[in-house]
């Protein structure tokens, strides 16, 4: 059930987490499905609810640097620098883990992915629970991530008792994931912090072709709606058909009469586009159309995270 994120309801949700239950909650990126990261049984419920394969490790959410030190065995200077610059916020850092984090959280890896969310509801929830919270996006495995409480309710409502409603997630795409080893930084997933911003702090960031186990978010398809997605450079030639949907990067004066059109942004603001991405896809997917055309986004800054999600959505039907 959806509960507005009042103080009382945040307390109630924190209590549920302490008791080993699962709670859906808002973050600035997307909604998460959380459980006490120190409790393997509680974390197992996340995998069960999401139908998520056990080889796909989870991100652990913290509310303080003390919590990071409790779960991470080594914090390189470079990590501290990134923490200082980007936390709280949509950056996840993969670091060597301590034994307090059970294997189910990390899929047996000796590293743990850590992030300090900036959303005040997420922060208060973690603080009240008093433990780090393991949380993937609150969607069935492979499907679109939720950016509202309603998206969670629609997809997992019968499986999650508490869905805290903190409004629409302002960033709208998942966190950027980097792995830091001594002084080297590797990008594992594009996301809410553009890689250019990280390079300004950390110097050159390398992009390795990872194995499935290293970053299953990099499976060829993911973030996919049920409806077929087709990316197009020039939308002017698309047939104007009422069984199709179309997502445009910005408002334009192309006049379509029948096709269902949605806009990611007013004037081409990438932040606005990212924030609206999943909501547009959810809305058009619910209409059971035969195809959703999506105009390509400039592949720079946040555009890289958006294009990454769109390419993976398209790949499902290839
Ligand atoms: O913005 C976000 O990151 C959202 C919100 C809820 O915080 N969470 C999210 O989680 O996107 P999820 O589970 O959908 O994606 C987590 C990704 C997975 O692709 C996983 O492979 C990667 O993080 N990951 C987790 N632990 C890892 C590790 N130790 N090494 C490498 N990749 C890891
Ligand atoms: Mg996800």
| Predicted local distance difference test score (pLDDT) of residue 150 | 98
- Helix H or strand E segment including 113: strand 111-115
Answer for the pair 212, 222: CB distance below 8 angstroms, yes or no. no
- Distance from the CA of 59 to the center of ligand 2, in angstroms? 10
Q: Which atom of ligand 1 is nearest to the CA of 31?
A: 6
End-to-end CA distance of the chain: 36
CA distance 134 to 132: 7
Residue ID of nearest Cα to ligand 1 atom 15? 136
| Predicted local distance difference test score (pLDDT) of residue 104 | 95
Q: 133 by DSSP, 3-state: which?
A: strand
CA distance 275 to 287: 21
CA distance 300 to 318: 25
**268 half-sphere exposure, CB direction, 13 A CA radius:** 6
Residues of the chain with CATH 3.40.50.11030: 228-315
Residues of the chain with CATH 3.90.870.10: 2-207
CA distance 205 to 196: 9
Token pair for 219: 């499976």
CA distance 278 to 313: 11
Answer for the pair 69, 7: CB distance below 8 angstroms, yes or no. no
| Predicted local distance difference test score (pLDDT) of residue 290 | 97
Q: Is 176 in the pocket of ligand 1 (CB under 6 A)?
A: no
Sign of CA dihedral 221, 222, 225, 230: negative
Answer for the pair 122, 24: CB distance below 8 angstroms, yes or no. no
- Distance from the CA of 207 to the center of ligand 1, in angstroms? 16
CA distance 278 to 193: 17
CA distance 145 to 281: 10
The DSSP output letter for 158 is: T
* pTM score of the predicted model: 0.93
Q: Which atom of ligand 1 is nearest to the CA of 109?
A: 29
Q: 98 by DSSP, 3-state: which?
A: coil
Q: Is 217 in the pocket of ligand 1 (CB under 6 A)?
A: yes
At the topology level, CATH places domain 2-207 in DHBP synthase (3.90.870)
pLDDT digits (tens, 9 = 90+) for 238-252: 999 999 999 999 998
Choosing from 26, 59, 193, 207 the residue with most ligand 1 atoms within 8 A of its CB, the one to mutate for a pocket test is 59
- pLDDT per residue rounded down to tens, the chain (318 residues): 999 999 999 999 999 999 999 999 999 999 999 999 999 999 999 999 999 998 899 999 999 999 999 999 999 999 999 999 999 999 999 999 999 999 999 999 999 999 999 999 999 999 999 999 999 999 999 899 999 999 999 999 999 999 999 999 999 999 999 999 987 999 999 999 999 999 999 998 987 655 444 455 555 667 789 999 999 999 998 999 999 999 999 998 778 999 999 999 999 999 999 999 999 999 999 999 999 999 999 999 999 999 999 999 998 876
| Predicted local distance difference test score (pLDDT) of residue 103 | 94
Q: Which ligand gives the minimal distance to the CA of 31?
A: 1
DSSP alpha helix (H) spans, 72-158: 77-86, 103-106, 120-129, 149-156
Q: Which ligand gives the minimal distance to the CA of 113?
A: 1
Token pair for 54: 């056990």
pLDDT digits (tens, 9 = 90+) for 60-94: 999 999 999 999 999 999 999 999 999 999 999 99
| Predicted local distance difference test score (pLDDT) of residue 317 | 75
Sign of CA dihedral 279, 37, 101, 117: positive
Q: Is 215 in the pocket of ligand 1 (CB under 6 A)?
A: yes
- Distance from the CA of 13 to the center of ligand 2, in angstroms? 21
Q: Which residues contact 48 (CB under 8 A, 6 or more apart)?
A: none
At the topology level, CATH places domain 228-315 in Rossmann fold (3.40.50)
| Predicted local distance difference test score (pLDDT) of residue 208 | 66
């Amino acid at each position: 059930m959806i509960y507005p994120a009042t103080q009382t309801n945040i307390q109630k949700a924190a209590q549920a987490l302490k008791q080993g239950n699962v709670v859906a909650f808002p973050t600035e990126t997307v909604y998460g499905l959380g459980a006490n990261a120190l409790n393997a049984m509680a974390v197992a419920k996340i995998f069960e609810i999401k139908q998520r394969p056990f080889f796909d490790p989870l991100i652990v959410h913290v509310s303080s640097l003390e919590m990071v030190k409790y779960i991470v065995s080594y914090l390189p200077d470079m990590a501290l620098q990134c923490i200082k610059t980007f936390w709280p916020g949509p950056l996840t850092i993969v670091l060597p883990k301590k034994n307090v984090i059970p294997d189910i959280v990390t899929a047996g890896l000796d590293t743990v992915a850590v992030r300090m969310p900036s959303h005040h509801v997420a922060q208060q929830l973690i603080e009240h629970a008093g433990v780090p919270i393991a949380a993937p996006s609150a969607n069935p495995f492979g499907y679109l991530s939720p950016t509202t409480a309603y998206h969670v309710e629609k997809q997992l409502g019968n499986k999650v008792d508490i869905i805290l409603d903190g409004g629409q997630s302002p960033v709208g795409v998942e966190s950027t994931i980097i792995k830091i080893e001594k002084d080297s930084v590797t990008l594992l997933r594009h996301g809410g912090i553009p890689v250019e911003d990280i390079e300004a702090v950390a110097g050159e960031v390398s992009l390795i072709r990872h194995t499935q186990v290293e970053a299953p978010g990099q499976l060829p398809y993911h973030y996919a709606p049920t409806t077929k997605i087709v990316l197009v450079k020039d939308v002017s030639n698309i047939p104007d058909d009422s069984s199709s949907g179309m997502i445009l990067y910005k408002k334009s004066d192309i006049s379509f009469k029948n096709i269902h059109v949605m806009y990611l942004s007013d004037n081409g603001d990438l932040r606005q586009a990212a924030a609206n991405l999943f909501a547009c896809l959810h809305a058009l997917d619910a209409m059971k159309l035969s195809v959703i055309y999506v105009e390509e986004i400039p592949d720079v800054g946040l555009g890289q995270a958006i294009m990454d999600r769109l390419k993976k959505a398209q790949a499902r039907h290839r």
